[in-house]
Structure 1
Amino acid sequence: MPELDLKKAKLHLAGFNQVEEPIDQFIAGTFDRWQSYQNAKNFSRQYLISLIQIPGTKRWLFAGVYDQLVPKARPEGKRTKWQYTYRHLEGFEELEGRLILEYARAGRQAYVYADKVVPDMRVHSIRPKRLTVGDFPGFKAVDISHSTLKVIVKEQLESWKAALSSVAGVYLISDREHHMLYVGSATGEDGIWSRWATYAHGGHGGNVRLKALEKAKGAIFSNGFYFSILEIADKHTGEKQMTKLENEWKKRLLTRDAGLNGN
């Protein structure tokens, strides 16, 4: 694409915003929508090239190129935020989600002129396939965003479903936007899988304080939710015993007094 002159392009170096990891949005297929919401008119050149930080590294995943960038004001109280409409340019699909660049950015700078920084980048690697949700990593390693959970449940990913439906357990929801925790437990024939599927479909899972968050914040209330597993148990463990284990974790993590548990 010869008309893609770097002097006409801005880079969006998308990193953790204290609530969400943009790489989770990419995996979930919602990155374009997520990126369209901005606190200022950040996309000021003809083209936008988006790179997503691979958490904990100086590596960046190529997400795409955009043009026809038009901001629309979104007043929020005394502040004005912006939502962009734009076109995701075709022709780059072969590298989207595969090309990884290495670049040590200065501080937390997220919006930079492409011609100023691209000379300092180098190709780290090209993945054999587009980045997607990986296989189940083991119970201790689970720490997934709500958007990723929705993908796992929607696609009925086999390794995740097989593992999560094989055990009962006590799980943790970390609300990283409000810095609060919720502890829950799952029993029954399909174990943790069945319980987490309710969160994938509705977000609040029927829990009183989570429903209150939804009422206060609207559809975005679960954007900062991350799911992990505190303890697993045999699927045939009785509900009474699981409730006891759940209560012990609530006590340790203070989720009744300073968290999202209402009972």
Structure 2
Amino acid sequence: MAIPLLAYSPSCPNQRVDALGARDDEAMIYSTDDLFSPTDMGNLIQAAYRQIFFHAFRWDQEVTLESQLRNRQITVRDFIRGLLLSNTFIDSFYNKNSNYRFVEHCVQKVLGRKVYNKAEKIAWSAVVMTKGVKGFVDELLNSDEYIENFGENIVPYHRRRILPSRAVGEIPFNITSPRYDAHHRQQLGFPQTIWQESVRNFIAYDKQPQAGDPSLFLNMAKKITPKANNLNTISAFNIDIAKSVPYRRS
């Protein structure tokens, strides 16, 4: 005898089930509390690079900081501090932006949110002006907001991406916030307009010439400019038989 489905009800009117996997509008949280293998630590380090640098090339990586973090000599918060004070970050975000723009980048990357208003930008810019970049970074990482949300072992991430009454979350900061402000983008010549002289047509794969097809060598054949050899005509009366015929000398 089959057992009928048992009756149940949600615990509240807005009950929702957990998602099966992370979506684009959900943040991946990386913490050293959950890491037990070198691969997991490598994923955490790459997540930190993406959060602070957006992308780290090989020459941008801080090898010493990575080694200290892998050996648990420093915390994730110390690693983030090292990235913010690195030459790559200073040159890419501080030297090429105003203090206001620099504050926007740091608040987005460190606190995981946008600045509230112009007053907040002015307040943090005053810290940059009076305490320098290092003092400003320390103020951000020592703030109650950072400690409450990320603590010592969590990589900062984009918070508040999922908003009420919205089906799609906020666009990530790295896409909406260019690295340079408008003034420096103009100095560097961005954006650049690229004109394409020829129009490319799509050719299906089955109609493309295969290896050995004569059409593949058409351009090479057009570049060849053959020249006829000029033959020198010599009369038989002008040939010295004695000198032309080889003979053996004793």
**TM-score normalised to structure 1 length:** 0.26
The structure with the largest helix share of the pair is 2
**TM-score normalised to structure 2 length:** 0.27
The structure with the largest strand share of the pair is 1
Greater RCO, CA 8 A, separation 6+: 2
Tell which structure's C-alpha radius of gyration is larger. 2
